[in-house]
Amino acid sequence: MKVLRKAVGPIQANAYICWCAETREAVLIDPGDEPEALLETLRTRRLELVWIILTHFHYDHIGAAEAIKKETKAPILIHRNDGPSLATPPDYFQALFGIKLPRIWADNRLMDGDIIPFGECELQVIATPGHSPGGICLYDAVQGVVFTGDTLFQRGIGRTDFPGSDHAQLIRSISERLFSLPADTVVYPGHGGSTSIGDEKVSNPFI
């Protein structure tokens, strides 16, 4: 699996394009903004987008999803516990950030353990609620990488001061689900640079 990170939008959220080198089938994780730039990357690399995967429903991770779906016809996936908030965005985001979220309907709602195939590659859904009720991470055991959205960052964790967030639940998700992965697993977070599970177990001050 090949991985390309693009930081997009005013908050510079990480969008990830992952693809199978043999078939050129690709997935797009958390297209938060700049749809034309992401589409141009898909075109120039001659990739066929087969899934748009959202790690959670927050605005900086979903903003370009509908535009990219319209262009590519790729289905949108999100965990079933975040699906309702994706379709009917909570008012508090407009109050907090001065923005009104689009209403987006997911084509499929994911559950813990689901496998998302593309070409000869696949990602496994790991449910990691806490930052949002339906937060997920996406794990490739063959490549030894995990995409953690806003669950786990390099020396940080996701915010839990939003309605529906749960700090204790987030810590459990990280400690029990992510820190059980091999120490050399590469972590690709929703913001900032990459790290590893082993480094975060030793050095993350929030766990």
Share of the chain above pLDDT 70, in %: 97
Range of weakest confidence among 57-61, 69-73, 78-82, 180-184: 57-61
Alpha helices by DSSP H, listed for the chain, are 35-44, 65-72, 83-87, 92-97, 167-172, 197-203
First to last CA, the chain: 30
Cβ contact 125:138 at 8 Å = yes
Range of weakest confidence among 27-36, 83-92, 118-127: 83-92
* Amino acid letter for position 54: L
CA-to-CA distance for 65 and 22, rounded, in angstroms?
Answer: 25
Kindly state the DSSP code that residue 41 receives in the 8-state scheme.
H
Residue boundaries of the structural domains of the chain: 2-203
Cβ contact 173:129 at 8 Å = yes
Cβ contact 81:105 at 8 Å = no
Instruction: Give the Å distances, CA to CA, from 187 to 180, 181, 195.
Output: 13, 11, 5
pTM score, whole prediction: 0.96
β partners of residue 53 = 29, 77
Domain 2-203 falls under CATH 3.60.15.10? yes
Share of the chain above pLDDT 90, in %: 89
β partners of residue 79 = 110
pLDDT in tens, 138-187: 999 999 999 999 999 999 999 999 889 999 999 999 999 999 999 999 99
